[in-house]
Amino acid sequence: METDLRLESTVWVENKRYRAVLTGWHFKWTELDKKNRDKKTISVPVAEVVGVEEGRVEILPQKSVEDTDKDFTVFYVKRSSSGSSYGLLWRLGWTQFSCPSRVLRDQWTKHLRMALKTHSPMRPNRLLVFINPFGGKKKGRKIYHSLVAPLFDLAGISSHVIVTERANQARDHLLKKDLTGFDGVVCVGGDGMFSEILHGLIGRTQQEAGLCENDPTVTLQPCSLHIGIIPAGSTDCVCYATVGVIDPVTSALHIIIGDSQPLDVCSVHQASGLVGYSVSLLGYGFYGDVLAESEKHRWMGPLRYDYSGTMVYLSNRSYAGIVQYLPADPLLSSPRDRTRCLSGCSVCSRSTERLFPHSSDSGSLYSSHFSQFSNDSEGEWVSVEGRFRCVSLTCMSSSCPKSPLGLSPSAHLADGTGDLILVWDTHPLGFLKFLYRHTSTEDQFDLPFVEVHRVKAVRFSLPPGKEEEAYEEIGGSVGGMDEVERGYDETVSTTGSQQYLAERGTGREMTDGQKTANPFLCGLCCSKAPAVSVWNCDGEILASTEILSRIHCQLVRLYARGIEDGAAVHNNSGENERGCTLHK
Ligand SMILES: CCCCCCCCCCCCC/C=C/[C@@H](O)[C@H](COP(=O)(O)O)NC(=O)CCCCCCCCCCCCCCC
Ligand SMILES: Nc1ncnc2c1ncn2[C@@H]1O[C@H](COP(=O)(O)OP(=O)(O)O)[C@@H](O)[C@H]1O
Ligand SMILES: [Ca+2]
């Protein structure tokens, strides 16, 4: 295959003579000036070529094509530093080449396009795009139309764009509407919007596979459609933890070249069935209270979390609970091994091999069933009981701009495990130290009142006696979501997502911000401390307190490649290249 695609010839770039070579995996050009030979080779992996066009194409200030018959223009990914040691910004670079003849020009464009098809089979042709116009700083629409759509056009990707008019529209669309012809779903918004897409796609996939999401022992079917995230939210943790930067152009380029990053997903169940899915933070206590409080202050935008965080911190609460967990195999990895899950992570690759032992091409991966829950030789359930400041479970590092290394810096994106962080009740300054360490490289687990365990499943229950207290506090409706009014225009059937979604709201509708009357934080001035908190499930308040959660290895795939190590990745650059963001 590689030899078929090989092509080599002399070309000109800005009046200088170059030797251009396509080897199959790489497209390189080297200036034919002996003195500078070493310095002037530019090499672009074929997988990172965005597009190839005939003629001399300019894209700034707007796209124009000078239609000459010996020229072609190649667009590709160009990296630049993000300013931190991990995570790189991607920009569009392009170079115009002149060939000695039209025949050779046509050979170049044909070979390059064939190489693209062969070496990056997951490139999308057609995408379904959901824009939350109210996410984060309310710039979703502008971000998409000015920065992302022009890049999709350039790459020949067609998209069907839906600007949402209500919460859960994207999720309902994915659950019910025809998705034929789409290669992926793009979410323009924050973690809450991503969560909608996640619920919609997982629910739809299980419906079609005839699997019951309500049963925590069922091995769920991985989703075949990829998810792309264009960050336009408040926390943007899923984007930050899978791409390494919050940057719409970088994310758009990952989508265009069809990068693929599998992601673990945690399913959360109560006795009667599924209550939701989480990838970033499933948190009880502090993070639950912060979310509940922040919903009252949505008008503050992303700042609501800092304000509510401070208020909740000052309210100085801890909660009684029983936490049971199923440890993951300690020989494979540990949350304190000081490693980081970076692009090409070997721990995650081993998980992929375990899940799909006979498969080398990703296209066929997802037809196979797997059962990591029952087959693995994990240990016995462990049970602890006491008072906690917070109980958090995260399937990945959950790094975000507030906490660049995240809730659990050594967690893996796709290893089939989650990290359970238990923060026992402690004095306020101790807890502040714990929180503060999230903002630096200091180890937040190196504190006597903090424990972290790598797990496959977690159960949380209230100590005997507390259930009744919880019931009384919330006025006779455990879960407390009954206040949330939801208008569903269509009758839904009974698969897990649909059922849970029909029964409850996310509590995060952004219309008036006041719908989530939180029964637990009855004004932070309240003198009687509440006995129970709420669960924060990727930014949504869950309706249940007593839950069972289980990690599903690589249940979804994102258009991403994990965080790139700035020091290790070769950054192609040369004087003939130009980088830009389109239509800034
Ligand atoms: C003293 C400074 C403390 C900084 C502590 C930073 C910890 C940050 C960990 C963030 C983990 C994020 C996990 C992701 C969660 C998201 O799914 C989810 C939804 O996001 P969306 O609204 O974009 O859709 N986001 C959240 O639930 C937000 C959690 C944010 C918690 C921030 C807490 C700030 C605490 C500030 C405490 C200040 C104490 C000061 C005392 C004088
Ligand atoms: N058109 C809309 N009107 C109101 N709420 C919406 C709309 N579209 C999406 N949502 C909801 O808004 C919530 C927050 O969106 P998100 O994009 O995550 O922003 P943020 O990061 O600021 O919280 C999501 O849970 C989603 O369900
Ligand atoms: Ca994981």
Model confidence pLDDT, tens digit, residues 467-489:
666 655 544 433 333 332 222 23
Dihedral pair phi/psi, residue 16, rounded to 5°: -110, 145
**Closest residue by Cα to residue 262 from 343, 175, 172:** 343
Pocket test for ligand 2, best of 139, 193, 195 (most atoms within 8 A of CB): 193
- 290 in a structural domain: yes
Q: Which residues line ligand 1 (CB under 6 A)?
A: 190-192, 233-237, 280-281, 287, 290-291, 305-306, 309-310, 313, 398, 400, 402-403, 407, 432, 435-436, 438-439, 536, 538-539
Q: Are residues 174 and 279 in the same domain?
A: yes
71-81 vs 547-558, strand pairing mode: unpaired
**Closest residue by Cα to residue 561 from 325, 179, 241:** 241
The bound ligand whose nearest atom lies closest to the alpha carbon of 239 is 1
CATH of residue 86: 2.30.29.30
Banded pLDDT at 283 (limits 50, 70, 90): very high
Tell me the pLDDT of the chain averaged across its residues: 84
CB 292 within 8 A of CB 541: yes
- Residue 344 CA to ligand 2 centre (angstroms): 32
- Residue 133 CA to ligand 2 centre (angstroms): 8
Atom 31 of ligand 1: nearest residue by CA position: 305
Atom 14 of ligand 2: nearest residue by CA position: 192
Long-range CB contacts (< 8 A, 24+ apart) of 63-69?
63/150, 63/154, 68/98, 69/102, 69/105
**Partners of 80 in the beta sheet?**
89
- 300 in a structural domain: yes
Q: How far apart are the first and last CA of the chain?
A: 40
Banded pLDDT at 370 (limits 50, 70, 90): very low
- Residue 174 CA to ligand 3 centre (angstroms): 25
Please say if 247 is a catalytic residue: no
Q: Are residues 450 and 528 in the same domain?
A: yes
Q: Are residues 110 and 222 in the same domain?
A: no
Banded pLDDT at 85 (limits 50, 70, 90): low
* Residue 137 pLDDT exceeds 90: no
Task: Say how far apart CA 68 and CA 54 lie, in whole Å.
Answer: 8
Residue type, 278: S
Q: Are residues 188 and 262 in the same domain?
A: yes
**Closest residue by Cα to residue 264 from 495, 537, 543, 558:** 558
Pocket test for ligand 2, best of 130, 132, 143, 191 (most atoms within 8 A of CB): 132
The pLDDT of residue 4 is 66
Atom 9 of ligand 2: nearest residue by CA position: 167
Task: Say how far apart CA 422 and CA 323 lie, in whole Å.
Answer: 9
* Residue 517 pLDDT exceeds 60: no
CB 571 within 8 A of CB 80: yes
The pLDDT of residue 569 is 64
Task: Say how far apart CA 210 and CA 232 lie, in whole Å.
Answer: 34
C-alpha distance from residue 167 to each of 272, 282, 364, 567 (Å): 24, 20, 34, 41
**Closest residue by Cα to residue 512 from 313, 297, 303, 285:** 297
Banded pLDDT at 87 (limits 50, 70, 90): confident
Dihedral pair phi/psi, residue 433, rounded to 5°: -60, -45
Task: Say how far apart CA 211 and CA 198 lie, in whole Å.
Answer: 16
Domain membership of residue 24 as a residue range:
2-121
Model confidence pLDDT, tens digit, residues 297-335:
988 988 999 999 999 999 999 999 999 999 999 999 999
Compute how many other C-beta atoms are within 10 angstroms of the C-beta atom of residue 353: 12
Query: What percentage of the chain reaches a pLDDT higher than 90?
Result: 67
CB 62 within 8 A of CB 74: no
- Residue 25 CA to ligand 1 centre (angstroms): 42
CATH of residue 274: 2.60.200.40
Looking up tokens 């001399």 gives 56
- Residue 163 CA to ligand 2 centre (angstroms): 11
- 362 in a structural domain: no
Q: Which residues line ligand 2 (CB under 6 A)?
A: 132-136, 164-168, 189-193, 196, 233-235, 506, 508-511
- 131 in a structural domain: no
Q: Which of 121, 139, 167 is the last residue of a domain?
A: 121
Concatenating the DSSP letter of every residue in 124-148 gives: -SEEEEEE-TTSTTT-HHHHIIIII
- 109 in a structural domain: yes
Q: Are residues 418 and 299 in the same domain?
A: yes
- 170 in a structural domain: yes
Structural domains of the chain, count? 2
Q: How many residues in the chain? A: 584
Residue type, 97: F
Radius of gyration for the alpha carbons in the chain, expressed in angstroms and rounded: 25
Q: Are residues 158 and 216 in the same domain?
A: yes
Atom 10 of ligand 2: nearest residue by CA position: 167
Q: Are residues 387 and 443 in the same domain?
A: yes
Q: Are residues 251 and 398 in the same domain?
A: yes
- Residue 411 CA to ligand 3 centre (angstroms): 6
Model confidence pLDDT, tens digit, residues 408-422:
999 999 999 999 999
Q: Are residues 509 and 424 in the same domain?
A: yes
By the 10 Å C-beta count (0-12 exposed, 13-18 middle, 19+ buried), 571 is classed as: exposed
Q: Are residues 156 and 117 in the same domain?
A: no
Banded pLDDT at 36 (limits 50, 70, 90): low
Looking up tokens 């599924």 gives 274
Residue 35 DSSP symbol:
G
Pocket test for ligand 1, best of 194, 291, 305, 436 (most atoms within 8 A of CB): 305
Query: Within its chain, how far is the Cα of 135 from the centroid?
Result: 16
CB 28 within 8 A of CB 41: yes
Q: Are residues 99 and 166 in the same domain?
A: no
**Partners of 541 in the beta sheet?**
536
- 484 in a structural domain: yes
Q: Are residues 211 and 112 in the same domain?
A: no
Compute how many other C-beta atoms are within 10 angstroms of the C-beta atom of residue 523: 8
- 575 in a structural domain: no
Model confidence pLDDT, tens digit, residues 533-552:
999 999 999 989 999 999 99
Q: Find the catalytic residue in 191, 236, 415, 538.
A: 191
Atom 22 of ligand 2: nearest residue by CA position: 136
Banded pLDDT at 352 (limits 50, 70, 90): confident
CA angle 31, 36, 42 (to 5 degrees): 45
Can you tell me the ipTM of this complex?
Answer: 0.95
The pLDDT of residue 490 is 30
**Closest residue by Cα to residue 170 from 198, 209, 207, 191:** 198
